[in-house]
Amino acid sequence: MASFDFPVSAVDGAARTGRLITSRGEIRTPAFMPVGTAATVKALYPEQVRAAGADIILGNTYHLMLRPGAERIARLGGLHRFMGWDGPILTDSGGFQVWSLAKLRKMSEQGVEFASHIDGSKHMLTPERSIEIQADLLGADISMQLDECTAFGSDRDEAAKSMELSLRWGKRSKDAFGERESQALFGIVQGSVYEDLRAASAEALVETGYDGYAIGGLAVGEGFETMCAVLDHTTPRLPADRPRYLMGVGKPIDLVESVARGVDMFDCVMPTRSGRHGQAWSDYGPVNLKNARFAEDPEPLDASIDCPASRDYAKAYIHHLVRANEYLGAMLLSWHNVAYYEDLMARMRAAIAEGAFEAFRRDFLSRWEAGPAAGR
């Protein structure tokens, strides 16, 4: 298994900043990965995503295997060429989407059999097939082991069985992945909200050995305080010389508090999903551009962000676009939101490097608690 270099340049408390070095370029950490579910970060050109500050994007195994098909993407040169993105790509294993979207799924030791949400066609996703899709057909720089996401609210016995299945699938994923010079494989910590299960999962994954370690099974309804508590007792159990990735999170406050607990990488659909629904993110929270108070507001969304969508368009104009259901409204808001998230990560990296992260964290929390009205 290739061991990606991950030099950490500064540590401030548990927060840290560094670089994850891949064959397709460096990923500055803490890093936010925009989600390119169907080989596109919705409403944005790849060059806009790059210009916004993203070093890496996420692709979705479940959606791409169903449409247009992983074998088709491979015939067309792999995911990077297919979507016109020459930087690093991380792909998820497909397990979460099977858990959350698929109909008639049937879990077994072998894997998970499910019916497509698109046309009802039957598919079998095993650890070996997931790795084949991610690493061989799509050509991901970072692949994820197949795991079972434990539903929030599961009792301890159910969570334990799910976690242990994920560990077995992880070993099979690693065996299928083998030794690769320019690709990496991450393991996934499960165990729901139970500290002893999270500890057992982390210990077993570290013993198996992966290029990085993800924390799964959060952002599934457990709430902010519980998420933070799980991170408090999980991240310290993961190797300091490997990247830590919190999957599917989240709001800006989630990112700040997770970085404070030692997390290095994030992904979430929130920036583009919010953009399609008329929301702009800020340090004060989400701003609803549908609101009539923006109808004659000549100010930009955020002139401090080096992004045309944030800097060059009046809120009044974006309000008009959103209310008129014009495509450009969703495009501009999605562009701004991705740029805002990347700017937030850059500010955290700078604060950690300067040994000032706690001051940054306190200032951010005061703005967040003040709410969107204070940010006008």
Residues that constitute the known binding site: 92-96, 147, 190, 217
CB neighbours of 348 closer than 8 A, spacing ≥ 6?
A: 15, 17, 30, 255, 256, 259, 357, 360
Longest dimension (CA), the chain: 60
CB neighbours of 110 closer than 8 A, spacing ≥ 6?
A: 124, 126
CA dihedral of residues 145, 150, 151, 152 (deg, nearest 10): -110
What distance in Å separates the CA atoms of residue 188 and residue 372, rounded to the nearest whole number? 35
Task: Provide the b/e sequence for 164-190 (b: ≥16 CB within 10 Å).
Answer: bbbbebbebbbebbeeeeebbbbbbbb
Query: Any catalytic annotation for residue 92?
Result: yes
Query: Any catalytic annotation for residue 267?
Result: yes
For 173-193, the DSSP string reads HHHHH---SS-EEEEEE--TT
Catalytic-labelled residue, pool 141, 267, 283, 302: 267
What distance in Å separates the CA atoms of residue 68 and residue 130, rounded to the nearest whole number? 16
CB atoms within 10 A of CB 318: 26
Catalytic-labelled residue, pool 92, 254, 264, 343: 92
Within 7-138, where are the H helices?
46-51, 61-66, 70-75, 79-83, 95-100, 127-131
- Of 271, 294, 366, 281, give the one whose Cα is nearest residue 37: 271
What distance in Å separates the CA atoms of residue 172 and residue 149, rounded to the nearest whole number? 17
What distance in Å separates the CA atoms of residue 188 and residue 170, rounded to the nearest whole number? 8
- Of 204, 212, 45, 42, give the one whose Cα is nearest residue 140: 212
List, as residue ranges, the binding site for substrate.
Answer: 92-96, 147, 190, 217
8 Å CB contact between 82 and 112: no
8 Å CB contact between 357 and 348: yes
The residues assigned a catalytic role are: 92, 267
